[in-house]
Amino acid sequence: MATGNGGAEKTRVRVTVNGRLVEAEVPVNMLFVHFLREVADVKSVHVGCDTSHCGACTVVLNGRAVKSCTLFAFMADGGEVLTLEGLRGSDGGLHPLQEAFHEEHALQCGFCTPGIIMTLYDYFGRGGDASEEGLRRALEGNLCRCTGYVNILRAARRAAARLRIPRKGLGV
């Protein structure tokens, strides 16, 4: 860590964001959400509450969904981050979660959507099932003030079917 610019303590942070190395010297107290938005220029990561309640800032860091407003940027140093911009389908187009959200009209204002999709991406990637209970539990940390979650859950189930994620108890 170095000190400069009026005595504010700084540190160098290197993070791979969606396959691209991002490196910068930033204030030691910079939140990771601000690093992603301001330094890495990732606009899908939203600042919704700064208290970790809304989930709009959710990204996948080193293979796990995290709320980026709960971390300082230096805590992600050396890490790999996946955001909505980095999701790709097997054909290089939209990921099945993105397709399903579009097809099921699972967003209105869209502010919460990137965090919800990244949460579901992590949940399915860790072996989560497509049951109503499992999906609701997975999304407990994500607030949507517009949709009422009906279409979000429908989109999650549609994506799960495409990804061959079983519904709990159905033996699929």
pLDDT in tens, 122-136: 999 999 999 999 999
- pLDDT confidence bin for 163, thresholds 50/70/90: very high
pLDDT of residue 60: 98
Average pLDDT, the chain: 92
What's domain 96-162's architecture?
Orthogonal Bundle (1.10)
Work out the burial of residue 150: count CB atoms within 10 Å of its CB; fewer than 13 is exposed, 13-18 middle, 19 or more buried: exposed
Confidence of residue 170 (pLDDT cuts 50, 70, 90): very low
Q: What is the per-residue pLDDT for 2?
A: 52
Q: Report domain extents, the chain.
A: 2-86, 96-162
**Using 50, 70 and 90 to split pLDDT, how confident is the model at 6?**
low
As a whole number, mean pLDDT of residues 29-50 equals 95
**Superfamily classification of domain 2-86:** Beta-grasp domain (3.10.20.30)
User: What is the pLDDT, as a whole number, of residue 58?
Assistant: 98
Average pLDDT for 35-39: 98
Band of pLDDT at residue 23, cut at 50, 70 and 90: very high
Could you tell me the CA-to-CA distances from 81 to 29, 30, 152, 157 in Å, in that order?
A: 19, 17, 24, 25
pTM for the predicted model, two decimal places? 0.91
**pLDDT at residue 168 greater than cutoff 80:** no
Evaluate if residue 67 carries a pLDDT over 90: yes
Residue range 91-110: mean pLDDT, rounded: 94
Q: How far is CA 72 from CA 25, 28, 66, 120, 126, in A?
A: 13, 7, 12, 24, 25
Residue 3 has pLDDT above 80, yes or no: no
